[in-house]
């Protein structure tokens, strides 16, 4: 028995930027997938750090906006994935079966920068 590992995926990781037009990371991930004949996997991760944490509790306006944006992406992309958990762990699990090319727009908040650094380092070790 043998296992073929590393089918490639082009991933657009949406965090706060849900633009369908004029979105550099989304555009790059779609082009990369088309150029290399890969599947595109748009993903949104509800970071477990923000769930039930008063410090990060989001108000109704943001939750309303998020539900609208996620429904738009669900309609636009047939395989749009919404995951809940630690982003590093989610990408680690995906990287077991796939070679990942992850595209995401930059974020400037300290937590976001640390999270992105951890995800990038974890995937580079694979």
> Model pTM?
0.86
Residue pLDDT, tens place only, 90-109: 999 999 989 999 999 999 98
Taking 50 as the pLDDT cut, the residues of the chain under it are none
The two three-digit tokens of residue 108, written as one number? 């400037």
- Give the DSSP letter of residue 59: P
In eight-state DSSP terms, residue 84 is E
The values of phi and psi at residue 52, to 5°, are 55, 30
Number of residues in the chain: 126
CATH number of 7-124: 3.40.50.620
């Amino acid at each position: 028995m043998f296992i073929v590992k590393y089918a490639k995926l082009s991933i657009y990781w949406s965090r706060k930027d849900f633009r369908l037009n004029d979105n550099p990371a989304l555009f790059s991930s779609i082009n990369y997938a088309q150029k290399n004949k890969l599947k595109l996997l748009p993903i949104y991760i509800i970071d477990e750090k923000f769930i039930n944490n008063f410090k990060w509790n989001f108000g109704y306006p943001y939750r309303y906006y998020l539900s609208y944006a996620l429904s738009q992406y669900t309609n636009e992309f047939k395989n749009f994935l919404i995951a809940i958990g630690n982003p590093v762990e989610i990408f680690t699990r995906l990287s077991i079966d796939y070679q990942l090319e992850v595209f995401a727009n930059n974020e400037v908040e300290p937590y976001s920068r640390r999270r992105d650094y951890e995800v990038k380092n974890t995937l580079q070790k694979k």
